[in-house]
Amino acid sequence: MGVPLDQLLIQTINGIVTGMILALVSSGLTLIFGIMDVVNFAHGELLMLGAYVGVLTLAATGNFWLALLSAGLLIGLLGAAIYLVTLRPLIDRGPLTTILATFGISLVLQNVALWQFGPVSRKVAEPIGGHFTLFYLDYPWYRIVVALLSAAIIGGFWLFLKFGTWGIWIRATTQDRVMAQAMGIPVPWVLTGVFAIGSAMAAASGVLFGPLSGVDPTMGLGWILRAFIVVVVGGMGSLGGSIAAAILVSLLEAYASLWVSPSQAIIVSFVVLIVTLLFRPTGLFVAAPK
Amino acid sequence: MRRGHGTVFWTGFAVIVALLIAAPLVLTEFWRRFVTEILIWGLLAMSSDILIGYTGMVSFGHSAFFGLGMYGAAAALLTIDPPNLWLALFYGLVAAAAVAACVAYFSTRLRDIYFAITTLIFSQIFYVIIFTWTAVTGGENGLAFERPPLAIPGLFDFVLTPTRLHWFVLAVVAGSYLILRRITQSPFGMVLQSIRENEARTRAIGYAVERYKIVAVMLSGLFAGLAGVLYALQNQFAAPDFVFFLVSGETVIYNVIGGIGTLVGPIVGAAFFLLLREGLSRFLTQYYLIPLGAVFIAIVILMPQGLLGFMRRWLNE
């Protein structure tokens, strides 16, 4: 059982890095749920498509920042289109119908990617090279950059929610859609915008994560499951809760993979979810319900 | 009126069963197998209709029950000598029931999407366990075995040919349909439907809603496990792919396409989906899910009651 301190520290850093990406994925999901009660099953596929846009732009231009930007923009637009065509007619039919519709969307998107890009995983070179020595390991700087970039995107988004006009509209619509409408907020556009922003955030995390694991059409499946866990553990619709839960779950998984294989370590997050649902079904990181 | 309705039902039931009995005698081997599989997937979809259509809980975890049924049957057929069909059924049902009891205990405390997500996560837990526990489950390769004979000691002893297997599957599915239909019309089924309509009021009247939900999940899981056993017998293997949540997703798709809360609808949905998939995959190879997914989305948006509900409304007009 004795685990050397250096391994523990390495896993802590690994956990925080994946945790930040997971937080970026989940914050889009939880935002969409919070404002329109839509559980977006296709979120993982948007991440996967974003990663592909990133790969293609990177291959064409060689510029990582351009890849990040173009993936965010394109997938944001795609998200808005998906929302307008399929989800808008369903918005008042309850969350279960939208789960079904987004499940269909995820099937379609995943197979479109399989058709267009093939099943073989694409390796992406780390856009920011260089390593630093962490105990006996050469730890890539890129992982640290990924964590910082994710934090920056989430932070920027938080500032936007807090101070931007649209951000205030989004918060108002989340609180009370009818009242927001009565106050003259263009609610249908706010909803479309939120879906676009959530999709863009998923795409950005796809671009960031691509170089770490390779890009393939099924990469969305693993992420959507973990994002679901995070969103429920953090409290559905709570942004801060999702971020805290993302880091908690990723850290626990990283520590667990000291003893078991990574494919088994995911059971730890399943257990966290079940324990949460049993004792605090509204989420660990939100105020207790009265 | 009521009596006339019953006559129509039984006549229709008899005609369809007679057609399905005759099916393997006239169809080619490929289509015979196709019809058998529709019946098995139909049973799985029908079992999940108990939850989706009658109790109002969408389960995304039926692959766990189905898969455990498969592995239970595999365990019986591989460990017991000589292989026995009834023990395979028994083991499969016990495995599915055990899993269903565990899932039911945890997931019925939650409602709506939380229920859907919990069942999804549970099926993934079993998937990970089965996938990584290579020594027992064969891991990614799964388990392969021989078909046992269809026998009752002292009475008869048949080799389970594909045609006889088809009749066996048909008997089980038809029997399950009648049992499930009886259950949904019983007082118990009425309580389930009242939970779907208004859970708070059902509780206020004095029904122990949680207990009814647990029984509903277990019942549903049991029949899903039965479908798993039949599928294992048909294909002579058990594989982790069938525990993966995409199978649960397809089960929900069958329900929605066919029409939830009808029991027959899910079978129609499974037949429609599989036929469409067969037709599309002839010229789209593996990308058939693109148009199929689009059809599914269109049905969710435009025909929330599914094909059967849509036809019923169209017939009434």
pLDDT in tens, A34-83: 788 788 888 889 999 999 998 888 888 878 888 888 888 999 999 999 98
> What is the number of structural domains in chain A?
1
- Mean pLDDT, consecutive 10-residue stretches, chain B (317 aa), reads 66 81 79 87 90 85 89 84 81 89 83 82 85 76 76 70 83 89 88 86 87 90 91 84 84 84 84 85 76 84 77 64
Any domain includes A206? yes
Domain ranges of chain B: 16-243
Strand partners, A122: A215
Which pLDDT band holds residue A290 (cuts at 50, 70, 90)? very low
- In this prediction, residues A107-114 reach a mean pLDDT of 87
Q: Which residues of A touch B249 (CB under 8 A)?
A: 103, 107
Contact B222, B215 (CB under 8 A): no
pLDDT of residue A288: 58
Which residue of A lies nearest to B285 if distances are taken between CA atoms?
A115
Residues B268, B273, B278: CA angle, nearest 5 degrees: 125
Residue A288 covered by a domain = no
CATH number at residue A251: 1.10.3470
The mean of the pLDDT values for chain A is 83
DSSP 8-state code for residue A38? -
Handedness of CA B250, A281, A237, A152 (dihedral sign): negative
How far is it, in rounded angstroms, from Cα B301 to Cα B249? 17
The answer to whether A277 and B114 have CB atoms below 8 angstroms apart is yes
Looking at CA atoms only, how far is residue B290 from chain A in angstroms?
5
Residue span of the structural domain in which A101 resides: 5-279
Q: In a mutagenesis test of the B interface, which of A26, A30, A277, A279 is the best target, namely the one with the most B β-carbons within 10 Å?
A: A277
Is A228 an interface residue toward B (CB < 8 Å)?
A: yes
**How far is it, in rounded angstroms, from Cα B189 to Cα B216?**
9
Integer angstrom CA distances of residue B178 from B173, B214, B271: 9, 22, 19
Closest CA to A78 of A203, A260, A187: A203
Question: Is A27 contained in some domain?
Answer: yes
The span from the CA of A85 to the CA of A124, in Å, is: 33
pTM assigned to the model: 0.83
Across the range A123-136, mean pLDDT stands at: 74
A54 min Cα distance to partner chain B (Å): 23
CA distance B186 to B180: 10
pLDDT over threshold 70, residue A287: no
**Which residue among B109, B289, B301 places its CB closest to the CB of A101?**
B301
For residue A233, the chain B residue with the least C-alpha distance is B114
pLDDT at B225: 92
Q: How far apart are CA B134 and CA A38, in angstroms?
A: 38
DSSP 8-state class, residue A282: T
Confidence of residue A2 (pLDDT cuts 50, 70, 90): low
Rounded CA Rg of chain A:
19
Q: Residue B230: count other Cβ atoms within 10 Å of its Cβ.
A: 29
Sign of the torsion formed by the C-alpha atoms of B106, B110, B111 and B112: negative
pLDDT at A200: 92
Residues 6+ apart with CB under 8 A from A57: A63, A66, A67, A70, A71
Largest Cα span, chain B: 60
